[in-house]
Amino acid sequence: MPVYADSLQNLINLLNRLPGIGPKSAERLAFFIVKMSDDERQQLIKALMEVKSGIKQCAICGQWNSNSPCKICGDAKRDHSFLSVVAETQDLAAVERTNEFHGIYHVLGGTLNPLTGITADDLNIKSLLARLQKNQPAIKEVIFALNPDVEGETTILYLAKILKPFKIKLTRLARGLPLGADLEYADEVTLADAFKGRRTL
């Protein structure tokens, strides 16, 4: 015998499909939504209906934002000779929040992953090559800002190979100990990287 009403169970099942939402969280969210005021629920429904129509993928860098070309690609004040390659729009946002990088971006839309069947054709690599071929204004450095995991490393290796003919400086983010880390508990690869990348004071 199903315990919940059909409409509630249906919402629980759909919420459960979202990333990071297990069956228990889905239940909790569904009950929270039931207990919301009609106004609040309508706000959420409206936001879901409008989210897609309010955003466009930038024809240049591939990020999801309100305009195409996006504000960053169209910003003459930014240094267009530094191009940072990121996996997703969220990663671009994370880099922007550091206020450390003032160049432009290219959003791949993912990383190479043979297990989930994501190949080079699924990523915005053609448009990256087209940007570099055009090279107007001249790009001096391509910075790979990808996650330091198997997929990220594979993607960096692949891109480094196909971008080699352009003879542009290729760099990647430093690996090392994150702020607040504990030497004792750091994994060996990270600690070794931190040693290799040590900086003069």
Could you list the residues that contact its own copies (CB under 8 A)? 1, 3-8, 10-11, 14, 18-21, 25, 27-34, 38, 41, 43-45, 47-56, 64-66, 71, 88-90, 92-93, 96-97
Contacts of 155 (CB under 8 A, 6+ apart): 87, 108, 111, 112, 123, 144, 146
Q: How far is the CB of 123 from its own copies (least distance, A)?
A: 14
- Compute the least distance from the CB of residue 73 to its own copies, in Å: 14
Written as six digits, the tokens of 24 are 């228990």
Closer CB to its own copies, 36 or 181, in the complex? 36
Q: Nearer to its own copies by C-beta: 76 or 183?
A: 76
> Which CB sits closer to its own copies, 14 or 157?
14
* Element (DSSP H or E) covering residue 85: strand 82-86
* Closer of 9 and 81 to its own copies (Cβ): 9
Decide whether 47 or 150 has the Cβ nearer to its own copies.
47
- The least distance separating its own copies from the CB of residue 103, rounded to whole angstroms, comes to 15
In Å, how far from its chain's centre is CA 43?
27
User: What is the number of helices (H) and of strands (E) in the chain?
Assistant: 7, 6
Nearest to 175 by CA among 198, 200, 150: 198
Q: Kindly tell me which of 109 and 152 has the beta carbon lying closer to its own copies.
A: 109
Beta bridge partners of 64: 57
The Cβ of residue 92 has, within 10 Å, a number of other Cβ atoms equal to 24
Q: What is the rounded distance in angstroms from the CA atom of residue 171 to the CA atom of residue 195?
A: 18
Least distance from C-beta 121 to its own copies, angstroms? 17
Nearest approach, Cβ of residue 133 and its own copies (Å): 28
Give 147-153 contacts, CB < 8 A, sequence gap 24+: 147/87, 147/91, 147/111, 148/173, 148/175, 151/111, 151/112, 151/113, 152/87, 152/111
In the bound complex, what is the minimum distance in angstroms from residue 183's beta carbon to its own copies? 26
